[in-house]
Structures are given as structure tokens and as C-alpha cells.
Amino acid sequence: MARDTKNSLLGSYPIDTGTAEIEADPYGANRYILKVNGVPSSHVDLDDPTYLDFEYMRWMEPVFAIGFPAEQFDGRARKLRVLHLGGGGCSMARWVAAKYENARQVVVELDAKLAELVRTNFEVPKAPLVRLRVGDAGQVLPTLSDASRDVIIRDVFAGSTTPRELTTAAYARQAQRVLDASGVYVMNCGDTADLAGARAEAATLLSVFKHVALIADAPMLKGRRYGNIVFLASDEPLALGPAFERSLRTAPLPAQLVSGAAAVRFAGEAAVIQD
């Protein structure tokens, strides 16, 4: 394990799935970039857990702020319950913990050594506030209780794409089962310019949930580049009013919201992803 002498966090670390690296962010005194096998996985600000650097995570913020106002969760009788499928640097888990008093979160991470590295170095709140569960997201979700989560975030990648078994209609139905009646399934989808994967994911979600929307920047939606699309799915109407859209338009990387009939048009003739 190689470490920078100026900062004990920096360096390369062997993990179960290869190698993790912690690099300093040159634009922040106590900010770090976590890479897994050479690919940027997470950004963490140890001084401010509410700072999110990755654009797709910033697009997730209004899902919480508007859909789950903190004042509705007193941290005692009602605690926000969040399941993270995919751990990385626990950036979103740290953000939720800072925003919601006594929130209860479970982060599912396949790589045990990576989970320990993140727990040790990135100041992740301890259980029961944030519980790191080592396991395969495809196998863990079906074991969870019905209606036991308010939000599920799927942010799992093998290289540049999400494993197929986590994109199927059967898996979406498992998320639907685990969510509370008004819960929201939030997914980070990485796709190429042809958008074939994203359209298939849209068609799949529309086959399971009553309400589906997606968020992305304009060049991504026009098929000009590889990038991220954030999907939202719920059986209750999503809180996607003017305030939500305004928060997306004013983001550092402005994004567009596609919902309702427009989400159906986006899916087009794409086939539902089956097992």
C-alpha cells in the first residue's frame, strides 16, 4: 500500500475487486476522489458532507429536498429510511445523514475491503445511522422486508455499465416491493450516445411503476455523448413541480426533466429487460 507522506489518506489500496486509489481534489483542501480500478467512483468532502461534486448526485438532491422535506422526518417517531445499492465512497449516504436527523441507512457494497477502506477513511456515520452491508445488490434486495424503505438508490457499476441483473423488470418489482407506498426508486444509469440502454431501462420501469421520470443534461438526451441519466420511479405521483425543475435548471450542469408522456416517448419501442 503506497501512501503520500503529506496525507495519510492518499495512495493505492488493494481491494477484493482490484485496486482503489484515493487522490486529492486540487480544488478543495479536504476533498478526495476515490477511484476503483482507475475509474472515478466517488468524491468526498470531509469538511462538508452536504457538498456533492458529481453532477448526477446533485440532480438527486431535489428528490429528497422536495419529495421528502426534512421537516416531515423528526428523527424520532419518523426516520427517513434509505437503501443504497452500491456503496463507493458513501457520498450520498453522508449527505443524507447530514440532512436528516437520525436517518436510518443501509449501504450494500460488494467489495468488503473497499467498504472497510471507506468506513475507515471517509468518516461515514456508524450503525445504526449508516450500516455497511457487504453483499451482492442482486442478492440482497430480495431478502429485505416489504415496505421497509422510503428511498432506494441504485448506483452499481461493473466498468461503465450497471450489471444486467439489476436492470430487469423482476429486479424493479423487488424494489417496488421493498419501497413504502410513497417511496421512490432512484437509479443512476450510464449509457453511450445511442441511448439504447437508457431507453430499455425506461421501458422496463414503465412496465412496473405507475410514474417514471428521468433527468439528464441536454447533450446526453440528444445522444451526443456518453453520460449519466438519473431515473425516478414510484407508484405515487412524483413531486416534480416548478421548484423541482428550477433546481435542475440552476444546477452547475443544468439538467432537463422528462416525465409523463415524454418518458413514454423516450422509451419508444425499446423492449422490457427480462431475466
Mean pLDDT confidence for 248-259: 94
Report whether 232 contacts 214 (CB < 8 A).
yes
d(C-alpha 137, C-alpha 269), whole Å: 29
Contact 189, 197 (CB under 8 A): yes
Q: Provide the CATH topology of domain 49-267.
A: Rossmann fold (3.40.50)
Which spans in the chain are helix H?
A: 55-67, 91-99, 112-121, 137-140, 169-178, 196-206, 218-221, 242-249, 261-267
Q: Encode pLDDT of 38-53 as tens digits.
A: 999 999 999 999 999 9
Q: For 159-213, what is each residue's pLDDT tens digit?
A: 778 999 999 999 999 999 999 999 999 999 999 999 999 999 999 999 999 999 9
Residues 51-71 have pLDDT tens digits of 999 999 999 999 999 999 999
Domain ranges of the chain: 49-267
